[in-house]
Amino acid sequence: MSSEQPDFQLFSSLRFDVRLRECEANTAVGPEPSPFYMLPFHRDRMLEAAQHFDWPDAEARLAGSAGLEHLLKSLKAAIDTNSGAPLRVRTLLDQTGNITLESFPTPSTAIRNLFPTRLPPPGSAALHISPLTGGALILGPDDSLAQQGPGYGDPEREQAWAVMVDPARTEPSPFTTYKTTSRDMYTEARARVGIESMTEPKEVLIISTNGDQIMEGSVTSVLFWRGGRWVTPPVSSGGQAGTTRRWLLKNGLCEEEAVSSGSLVDGEECWLSNGVRGLIWGKVKL
Domain residue limits, the chain = 10-105, 161-284
Given a cut of 90, whether residue 169 has pLDDT beyond it is yes
3-state secondary structure of 244: helix
Q: What is the pLDDT of residues 90-106, one digit of tens each?
A: 999 999 999 999 999 99
Exposure string for 81-117, b = 16+ CB within 10 A, e = fewer: eeeeebbbbbbbbbbebebeeebeebeebbbbbbbbb
Given a cut of 80, whether residue 3 has pLDDT beyond it is no
Name the CATH topology of 10-105.
D-amino Acid Aminotransferase; Chain A, domain 1 (3.30.470)
> What value does the mean pLDDT of the chain take?
91
Contacts of 142 (CB under 8 A, 6+ apart): 19
Would you state the pLDDT for residue 30? 87
C-alpha dihedral over 22, 110, 274, 244, to 10 degrees? 50
Mean pLDDT within 138-157: 54
Between CA 284 and CA 6 the distance in angstroms is 37
Would you state the pLDDT for residue 127? 57
Mean pLDDT within 223-231: 98
Name the CATH topology of 161-284.
D-amino Acid Aminotransferase; Chain A, domain 2 (3.20.10)
Query: Higher confidence at residue 231 or residue 32?
Result: 231
Q: What is the pLDDT of residues 15-32, one digit of tens each?
A: 999 999 999 999 999 889
Range of weakest confidence among 78-87, 165-174, 195-204, 251-260: 78-87
Range of weakest confidence among 62-71, 76-85, 171-180, 209-218: 76-85
Burial class (CB in 10 A: 0-12, 13-18, 19+), 221: buried
Given a cut of 70, whether residue 148 has pLDDT beyond it is no
Would you state the pLDDT for residue 83? 86
**Closest to 187 in 3D by CA, of 206, 163, 162:** 206
Between CA 29 and CA 268 the distance in angstroms is 32
In DSSP terms, 13 is beta-bridged to 90
